[in-house]
Structure 1
Amino acid sequence: MIFANNEVAVCAATKADLYRIENMMQFYNYDFSEWYDIDLSETGLFRLQPKEAYWSQSSVKPFLIKMNDKLAGFAVIDDELTHDSSHYNLGYFFILRRYRGKGISQAAIQLLLNQFKGNWEIYSLRQNSVAEKFWRKTLTQFLGHVVESTDMKIHGEDSCLFKFSSIKNGGIPAT
């Protein structure tokens, strides 16, 4: 499954593609090391939690994000939800730095939200204020209204949770 606009494509990752996502998680962790104590292992790489069990869940949907057919990042949808009324959680979202600030992230999110209609949860870690601003702006532009957020602990971390519906009709808020 591939959904795309003129330049940005969001492609369902195959089992053979999962190593690409795990490789990019090194850069994902590098970015997070700005705000959180994430140390390198003795090999000089970040320690990644084994993902086989995660990837094998039927609710986990990994995607490669491409810009003009070049790998630009990844997204993973799962069902690790905080509310029973939600359908989707954006478990991971990452765009390589060279592609940031060019509308690629917004295009990829729009493609995902248009493909997976329903009640969503997207959270950012509180210390990552850049991500919180990105989600607030991107979701407001997509839905046409401000999305309220809730402060809560998720996986033991102070987080900002955005809960909303991707079904347009003026952007009906999730209940």
Structure 2
Amino acid sequence: MEVLVTRAAESQKELLANLLQFYVYDFTEFTNIAIGEDGSYPKLPELDAYWDPASGHHPYLIKVNGEIGGFILTKEIEHPRKYSRLCHFFILRKFRRLGAGTRAAVDFLKSSSGEWELSQLSSNIPAQAFWDKVIDKVGVEGKVSVRIEEGRRYQNFIVKMG
């Protein structure tokens, strides 16, 4: 299985917006988000920022065997310390449990050394298990810091160089 993560071009913004609908739908299992009267879920308010170079946001698309398979959205944080936040990660259901998500996440993080933060909803136990496995496979420097805050489980870690 070929899994490729590439930076999303601005011309792919609508594609990403469409994928975000599936992402939000999947989260309704853990949240109380209601579908709108128009049959769509709320839009990601900061979506446009992912194509603003000054914002520190970065959009990526995941392809599995040449087919759109998901996305990764990150943001660089500068204050009070410098780190990267993995804000959103999504794999289409047809590629789950095949290793595509793990491979995309591991390959992406291994190619992005430095300090990282990611989080999962406290109630989303499958996501917590997924990210524990990913972080273990990435190989981090030192310990992984874990904290629970406002209904979320946060993990901070440093990805080793090379």
TM over 0.5: yes
Identity %: 30
Give unmatched runs, 5+ long, in structure 1.
1-5, 170-175
For residues 60 and 53 of structure 1, do their structure 2 counterparts lie closer, same or farther at Cα, with a shift above 3 Å needed?
A: closer
Q: Residue in 1 aligned with 2:64?
A: 67
**Partner Cα separation in structure 1 for residue 82 and residue 6 of structure 2:** 23
Between the aligned partners of 2:73 and 2:159, the Cα distance in structure 1 is 16
Moved over 4 A (4+): none
- Counterpart position of 2:152: 159
Please say if residues 152 and 161 of structure 1, whose CA atoms lie closer than 8 Å, have aligned partners that are also in contact.
yes
| Superposed CA RMSD | 2.1
CA distance in 2, matches of 1:151, 1:31: 22
| 1:5-154 equivalences in 2 (<5 Å) | 7-50=2-45, 51-58=47-54, 59-79=56-76, 84-143=80-139, 147-153=144-150
Q: Report Cα offsets for 1:7-51 as digits up to 9, x if no partner.
A: 000011000011111100111011110011111111111121442
Q: Which amino acid letter does the alignment assign opposite residue 164 of structure 1?
A: F
Contact kept in structure 2, 1:80 and 1:91, CA below 8 Å:
no
Where structure 2 has 5 or more consecutive residues not aligned to the other structure, the ranges are none
CA contact (8 A) 2:59 2:72 kept: yes
TM-score (norm 1): 0.82
Q: Which amino acid aligns with 2:19?
A: M
**1:161 corresponds to which letter in structure 2?**
Y
Higher-strand-fraction structure: 2
